[in-house]
Amino acid sequence: MPQITVDYSMPLAEGFDRRGFALALHDAVVEIAAAKHEACKTRFRATEDTTVGRDEHGHAIVHVSLALLAGRTDETKAQLTEAVLELLRTYVKPAEGLALHASAEVRDLEASYRKFEG
């Protein structure tokens, strides 16, 4: 915990400082949601095909899904979501002519969540 997944359009790869984003996001999660740095795990998944509306060209998408152990207030989750969006503004620089569609969600992990470290 937290489990963070970042899906992004492949054309953003060159202008997306993924490591910088992840480190800054981990700091925000620690500060806002009282997590521990060593518990933050972020994975990035590039998507080749993206379509927005009826236009498949000229758009790029980033969506961040952040799952936490239950117990955070709705206000904490909203504050964290806003922090994610602000960090995306800093760490994603789309190529010329690309419209960036950025979104984020913070949710609780299911009660069945378990983990181990080996």
Per domain, the residue ranges of the chain are: 3-108
CA 1, CA 16: separation in Å to the nearest integer?
24
Which of 70, 61, 58 is closest to 98 using CA atoms?
Answer: 58
Please state the rounded mean pLDDT for residues 8-12.
95
Please state the rounded mean pLDDT for residues 50-79.
92
Please state the rounded mean pLDDT for residues 60-76.
96
Q: Is the pLDDT of residue 55 over 80?
A: no
pTM (2 d.p.): 0.93
pLDDT tens-digit readout, 84-118: 999 999 999 988 889 999 999 999 999 999 988 88
Q: Is the pLDDT of residue 57 over 90?
A: no
Superfamily of domain 3-108: Macrophage Migration Inhibitory Factor (3.30.429.10)
Cβ atoms of residues 88 and 25 within 8 Å: no
